[in-house]
Amino acid sequence: MMLRIILSVSATALLALALQAAPAQAQGTHTFVSAFGDDPPPSGGNSSGCARNTPCRTFQGALGVTTGGGEITVLDPGGYGGLTINKPISIVNDSAGEASILVGGGGTGITVNAPNAYINLRGITIQGNGTSGVSTGLQFTDAFALTLENCVIRNHTGDAIFFAPQASSNLSLSNTLLADNGGNGINIHPNGGGNTANISLKRVEMYNNSLSGLFVFHQTTNTVKVSVADSVAGNNGKSGFAVLAANGASSILVQRSVVANNGTGLAAFGGKATLRVGQSTITGNTTTWWASGGGTLRSYGDNNIDGNADGDPPPTTIVSK
């Protein structure tokens, strides 16, 4: 009898140790969020792992139980809270309705700080609520690549997207709206030196931003390459597309796009800043284009430039090759 009691006590002790050593939250490669879900307990304990039939309530809660490289799927419309991304992940909303993040004054909707990671966001709305303080829709610090598709980022007191990579990085946007922000639609501002940032925009609409639709600026020895296609920059206070580079080389290529009713349509400043434009319409701007400080602006000679307040001066044409 005594031996059985000792063995029972030992087994109980071993079980307790095993439970203590077990992870507090199960990890899954595919998790789900719902407006009717519940997040895993923050103080520990086993969780459902945000499975299809027991979804999480917030993006952050789901991220915590999703393995790196996994996917979070949105099941129904709802507000899913702010998010800091620190691992490779895909967050996908294809047909559930609006999956939103509401951002108050001084806040940031999504922060990306995931070195070497691939991040994919689809069908997400990041909405500022118009309160005081500088709010930002999405702030990028570090990742190898960030892709946004079918997203809306609007009504922030600061930038919709503040892209400030610390290392060589890639940013791609398609079918995305950036509107009504107090700063820029996209602010490209790389940190460090000797890095390369590649930015691709296709079918991106940038409206009613107080500063620029797309603004590229840096003083360090980085290289920034931006391509814009089939997009619109309209009614922005300062400029539609602008590139300012003091040391590193920066360039913007604009093709098949509309630049309308901005303060300045196109701007290039600094000896290593270049903006090229082709098959595009530039109209209704206070200033058609502006280049200074060694910056260059070049046209492929196939644009529609008309109806600007300064008389529509033609930019230098690139020689056909």
Residue with tokens 């909303």: 93
| Token pair listed for 135 | 């709010």
- Determine the pLDDT at residue 212: 98
**Can you tell me the distance from the alpha carbon of 165 to that of 196, in angstroms, rounded to the nearest whole number?**
9
> CB–CB of 161/189 below 8 Å?
no
Q: Is the pLDDT of residue 12 over 80?
A: no
- Determine the pLDDT at residue 157: 95
> CB–CB of 51/72 below 8 Å?
no
| Token pair listed for 217 | 């600026």
Give per-residue pLDDT as tens, 229-265. Answer: 999 999 999 999 999 998 889 999 999 999 999 999 9
Q: Which residues contact 294 (CB under 8 A, 6 or more apart)?
A: 270, 271, 272, 273
**Can you tell me the distance from the alpha carbon of 35 to that of 13, in angstroms, rounded to the nearest whole number?**
40
**Can you tell me the distance from the alpha carbon of 135 to that of 106, in angstroms, rounded to the nearest whole number?**
5
> CB–CB of 72/52 below 8 Å?
no
- Determine the pLDDT at residue 218: 84
Question: What are the distances in angstroms from CA 279 to CA 28, 207, 300?
Answer: 47, 20, 8
- Determine the pLDDT at residue 305: 97
| Token pair listed for 261 | 């009713």
Q: Is the pLDDT of residue 46 over 70?
A: no
Angle at 119 between CA 116 and CA 121, to 5 degrees: 170
Give per-residue pLDDT as tens, 167-217. Answer: 999 999 999 999 999 999 999 999 988 999 999 999 999 999 999 999 999
**Can you tell me the distance from the alpha carbon of 71 to that of 191, in angstroms, rounded to the nearest whole number?**
29
Tell me what the mean pLDDT of segment 50-64 comes to: 95
Tell me what the mean pLDDT of segment 88-115 comes to: 96
Q: Is the pTM of this model over 0.95?
A: no
pLDDT band at residue 133, thresholds of 50, 70 and 90? confident
- Determine the pLDDT at residue 247: 85
As separate numbers, helices (DSSP H) first and strands (DSSP E) second, the chain gives 2, 29
